[in-house]
Amino acid sequence: MTLAVLLAVSGCGRFPYKVDVRQGNYIAAETIAQIVPGMAQEQVRALLGAPMLVDSFHANRWDYIYLFTPSTSKQIRRQVTVFFAEGKVARVVQGEMAADPNEVPPSAVPRLLDLDSPASKR
């Protein structure tokens, strides 16, 4: 009987269990260091895997995004962007993504243009 009561009460915790959530492409610094200018797109894909984001308007840019939400703290966001020129690596940019849109400088925030407004028809 005591065992049954202990088992029943053990599920009555104060805080709900939260699982760590990992999303996207985790890329180690050692792997990023292997990407060199002039490397072919196929080599980059073999090394890093498929990019999380390929923009159809910017086909020469691949974005690898990694999000980690630990159960105990704030979300961690990392991004590696590979730029290509003529099918070869031109440059690699890495860093933290802004966790909050308010942290992005105004010049980096894309603007939405309303093409139906009278001001745009001048």
pLDDT at 105: 42
Residue 115 is assigned to a structural domain of this protein = no
Whole-number pLDDT of residue 47: 94
Q: Which two tokens stand for residue 53?
A: 């984001």
Residue type, 108: A
Residue 45 lies in a domain: yes
| Whole-number pLDDT of residue 8 | 65
Question: Would you say residue 122 lies in a domain?
Answer: no
Cβ neighbours of residue 92 closer than 8 Å, sequence gap 6 or more: 32, 35, 80, 81, 82, 83
> Domain count of the chain?
1
Range of the structural domain that residue 92 is part of: 18-98
Is residue 59 within 8 A of residue 83, CB to CB? The reply is no
* Domain contains 120: no
Please identify every stretch of the chain with a pLDDT value under 70, giving residue numbers as ranges.
Answer: 6-13, 15, 96-122
Q: What CATH number should be reported for the domain holding residue 27?
A: 3.30.1450
Domain assignment present for residue 86? The answer is yes
Residue 76, pLDDT score: 82
Q: Is 55 contained in some domain?
A: yes
